[in-house]
Structure 1
């Protein structure tokens, strides 16, 4: 039989391959197969017998041979390969394998292992820490340390977001109430219950811990109160009081409850007050705060009605009774005021005096007698007035305002240990460990906050700065830049413009790559009536013309509102606009005129400021009394009096000296939100980030490193503005009453008073 060309060779060659095939001669087999496949074989070849091979025969044969090879390979004596654990797993197991120490007892070993596991958590080695905690449970399950291991293990699982896996460990630890960390575990169980939406279950857990006598009892008490203020209604309020033990709240519980309730909006507080059942311990609390707010707004009769309704024997009821009838025989505090009441800054001093009187009025149950001295804005006058205050037995001083006089007064106060609250933000005024406090809006804090927000929250990595060539501009630029670098970001460019300028184009050009010819062509094309922000750049002629471009994600603008109004549209002309580049600002932006005109150019930008709810509430109550709008300095003066007065209240309730209360971080909800003094005598406030929307700025979350909410509500005073009661004139100054309703003028914000102040 005649075969087609190449076919016979292919068949014979293939047959030979099959004959030669063996496991030991795999290379020959592969050579044969490759040789056969290189031949141009027809779909149906003829074997010598003349029988046609079906289509697909070779494919079946190939599959059969490959299967045979695979089976043979698996039957060889090859040793199995050793699996290699991931590096992370090996490290975790290594760290979890803690060898016992020589002579170590049953109690010492788990204690040491817990310490090592906590160290791993601090290093963010959570998996290794969990292995170590599990080993403690396996080897020392009956010891007290095992319950801490259960708590710590649940805590770490919650850190990883595995709340369902954490819950069994925490419940197990909480069930062993006679062992350490049982109550801490139950508090975390409450956290998980709230996350699940079981608010009443969370309340029950937190209340049990709050009444356990644990040293950590106030933390779950705060959680419960905050949740109840938000989620309480008529139905669950009735069930709530089946959970609460009978009797009155302790002084600590009352203080925390007053603080928490004082952060609630008035209308919501009225709703909660209305749904309280008889004998509710929260009724006098709500009545006390609602009365305070009515009094602040000028509603004396409404305030008295609320205070009278708090007629129990608990601490809040006693405080309400003191509002109604302050005791004449209670010890008082003589407070000196050191203000510039004459000279160039007399208007500022008189406005500050009004704010301080407002503070006295808002605390009707504290007896504070004022002695006022005129500093004339000079250091020598301030020093002389402080010496006179010392001779007169003044117990505390508020002021001065300006840098040099504040330093002089602080030196005398520190020498004689007289508590003094200065109103200047400059460094070097507070001697370490002294009785000097510094209550001021510190702009560098805003720079640090915005840097943290930009890099850590918004993930901006490359940021530019356009700032005024002033002390304020350089200070904010420095603190912002340092904080950006510490957070892992980069400052790519910094440009300063002279104060008072209206054309910012030269300094904006320094931020972007812009061809002058291209810019001129675009300007001419736009015309005098054309849009300032063209969609496309106009070419300046033949050739490649550079377009403005930026190599940064965000632009920090520590400028005032008027400057930002001019900068934003000019920056847009150079293609520097939202959302490609996000603008960042400070509290100087927070002016209505910025959001009314030109808001399209800054929509989506961010700035920081204090609590707008607190500011608005204080401004309204201040206007009710003085028919005037308070300045930033007025808010500082008010807060200074409020902090001292609140400390006097705590002294009355707890027996702690008011000065130690103030030094220990006494917190109030003041004119601009939460305020307190840290260990170094510096005031701290909550700051918020605001996003500019089409209808104005919207408050975002408070930054975590800012102050926390403090102790008690802001109160009222029987002193009436303008009647002269409780006011003495001392030192070298003469205080003159300002008629109600007449405004002596607004003082400029901090930073606008010149070098002597800022």
Structure 2
């Protein structure tokens, strides 16, 4: 088992940057013995563990330490703070994110979370080498080359699939692994591992749970987009693998302004479905008048304002949420979703919420603002890299190390990388309620448990 130790750690400052507003410049950890520019008396928080469990044992959850007070120097410095070229003991971690341009806010939040993880790990051998990709594949390739020329042994990021596609071959030539925040399966493999929350696992989880409640007949109403395509494929596969039926799927352009004709067509199609067999058992959740219901559940892979506009149209066209269960993906991870009555009682799959809630509390205490949802991925990934770096292993970031079958435990629950570069996560099933959501089927504590 590998565990993080509680050691003092200091963070350097960026050029002209502030904690409150994010870090517009480059920020790097300083290697042992190198000159350091740090704020006075930084906090030394308790340690946090990122654990690899023994075979067959549950992945221990990382303890939740009190939030560190990350006082980062805000005065402009004469130049970027670099690791000295002669520091052979330093393990350099490239961190590629859009630190300027339209996605700078997201990129800076990811970088802040990575710094927070290094603060908790408190290991002077770890050097973070942030590089600004500007959200562009050409720039991502250039800064990845630069970081690897400076000795980066692993790359965290980039954020987008086209960036990962540009960086992957360059890293592979040097034998450097890439841990990308993308969810696009097409860029996974050959040394590129994906970190993002993929819709296929969310669909598999929520449909699998619905099947345990006796639901067999499913329908899908999804946007005609890359995300909608991924959900449609996953829904078809999940229903077949669990012995259910996907009886209807309707698609609509993602930029459709008026969803009324879309839902009317969908509802008409449901009414035209063949009736159930009299021998077919009713779902355990809603046994009454099951023969009159065309399907047991409808999957709606939308989120935010689009979902709120779509949901009330379903009961308007007689798709009653009291008898037909509405299902969602991680896009439903929205605390205000219960304000739409049609969605109350709906189910979706996502990481257990208490982990991100604790991470969010610590992040806000440290940086003075709430984190974006993806920030916890940056924390968990940086912590994982730091833990692997502590092993007495000449190749700490090998395929064998990254694809440990027992996986790892972080703020977003257990996860493990598969040999094809995809990530597998332990997800919970949540039910939408008027004041938030509640877990109705907990996330697994180990990959040794029966599959969801």
Q: Shared topology, TM-score over 0.5?
A: yes
Change (3 A) 1:666 1:342: farther
1:445 aligns with one of 198, 201, 210:
201
CA–CA separation in structure 2 for the residues paired with 1:261 and 1:460? 31
Question: Cα gap change, 1:576/1:255 in structure 2, threshold over 3 Å: closer, same or farther?
Answer: closer
207, 216, 228: which one pairs with 1:473? 228
Kindly indicate whether the alpha-carbon contact (under 8 Å) linking 1:608 and 1:689 is maintained by their aligned counterparts in 2: yes
Alpha-carbon offset, residue 333 of structure 1? 0.6
Residue 482 (structure 1) shift: 2.2
1:356 counterpart residue number: 114
Corresponding position of 1:619: 360
Aligned partner of 2:254 among 496, 499, 510: 499
> Which residue of structure 1 aligns with residue 397 of structure 2?
659
Structure 1 pair 440–497 and aligned structure 2 pair: CA distance change class (3 A): same
1:642 aligns with 2:383: yes
Distance 2:445 2:364 in 1: 33
Provide the secondary structure at the position in 2 that maps to 1:643.
Answer: helix
- Secondary structure at the residue paired with 2:220? strand
The counterpart of 2:370, out of the listed 629, 632, 646, is 629
Task: Quote how far apart the aligned CAs of 1:621 are.
Answer: 0.7
Deviations 1:87-126 (A, max 9, x none): xxxxxxxxxxxxxxxxxxxxxxxxxxxxxxxxxxxxxxxx
Equivalent positions of 1:46-445 (< 5 A) are: 263=61, 289=63, 293-294=65-66, 296=67, 298=69, 331-365=89-123, 367-432=125-190, 435-445=191-201
Q: How does 1:546-695 map to 2 (within 5 A)?
A: 550-595=293-338, 597-599=339-341, 601-649=342-390, 651-652=391-392, 657-660=395-398, 661-665=401-405, 667-695=407-435
Q: In 2 relative to 1, CA 369–703 (structure 1 residues): closer, same or farther, beyond 3 Å?
A: closer
- With over 3 angstroms needed to count, the CA separation of the structure-2 counterparts of 1:298 and 1:260, relative to structure 1, is farther
Cα shift at 1:622: 0.7
Q: Is 1:700–2:440 an aligned residue pair?
A: yes
Whole-Å Cα distance in 2 between the matches of residues 349 and 643 of structure 1?
Answer: 19
The 3 A distance-change label for structure 1 pair 590 and 373 is: closer
Is the 2:203–2:329 contact (alpha carbons within 8 Å) kept by the matching residues of 1?
A: yes
1:490 aligns with 2:238: no
Output the aligned Cα RMSD.
3.2
Do 2:430 and 2:439's aligned partners in 1 also have CA atoms closer than 8 Å? yes
CA contact (8 A) 1:643 1:666 kept: no
Instruction: Specify the SS of the correspondent of 2:250.
Output: strand
Structure 1 match to 2:274: none
Greater RCO, CA 8 A, separation 6+: 2
Alignment correspondent of 1:324: none
Distance 1:339 1:552, change over 3 A: same
How many residues end up aligned between the 2 structures? 360
Distance in 1 (CA, whole Å) between partners of 2:302 and 2:295 is: 19
Output the CA distance in 2 between the equivalents of 1:634 and 1:444. Answer: 21
Question: 1:45 maps to which residue?
Answer: none
What secondary structure, in the 3-state scheme, does the structure 1 residue paired with 2:188 have? coil
> What's the secondary structure of 1:618's corresponding residue?
helix
User: Tell me, which stretches of 5 or more residues in structure 2 are unaligned?
Assistant: 2-50, 72-86, 270-291
Name the one with the larger strand percent. 2
Structure 1 residues 347-403: Cα deviation after superposition (integer angstroms, max 9, x where no partner): 332222212111211211352112232223232322232333332222222121122
TM superposition shift of 1:602: 2.7
SS of 2:185's equivalent in the other structure is: coil
Contact in 2 for aligned 1:463/1:491 (Cα 8 Å): yes
* C-alpha displacement of 1:688: 0.8
CA distance in 1, matches of 2:350, 2:408: 18
Q: Tell me the TM-score normalised to structure 1 length.
A: 0.44
1:458 maps to 213
C-alpha separation between the residues in 2 aligned to 1:500 and 1:379? 26
- Structure 1: runs of 5+ lacking an equivalent: 1-217, 219-252, 265-288, 301-328, 515-548, 710-758
Do the aligned partners of 2:137 and 2:162 also contact (CA within 8 Å) in 1?
yes
Q: CA 1:666 to 1:368, structure 2 compared with 1: closer, same or farther past 3 Å? A: farther
- Aligned residue for 1:441, secondary structure, equals coil
Q: What is the Cα deviation at residue 344 of structure 1?
A: 3.0
Q: Which has the higher helix share?
A: 1
CA distance in 2, matches of 1:262, 1:445: 22
2:53–2:408 Cα contact (<8 Å) kept: no
Compared with structure 1, are the counterparts of its residues 463 and 255 closer, same or farther at alpha carbon in structure 2 (3 Å cutoff)? Answer: closer
Distance 1:330 1:255 in 2: 30
Distance 2:183 2:247 in 1: 29
Secondary structure of 1:463's counterpart equals: strand
Residues 364 and 667 (structure 1 numbering): CA distance in 2 closer, same or farther, change over 3 Å? farther
SS of aligned partner of 1:293: coil
Cα separation, partners in 2 of 1:657 and 1:608, compared to 1, 3 Å: same
8 Å CA contact 2:52, 2:409 repeated in 1: no
In 2, Cα distance between equivalents of 1:367 and 1:626: 24
Conserved 8 A contact 2:135-2:160: yes
Provide the C-alpha distance between the structure 2 equivalents of 1:499 and 1:687, rounded to a whole number of angstroms.
27
Matched-pair contact (CA < 8 Å) for 1:686–1:708: no
**TM-score (normalizing by structure 2):** 0.71
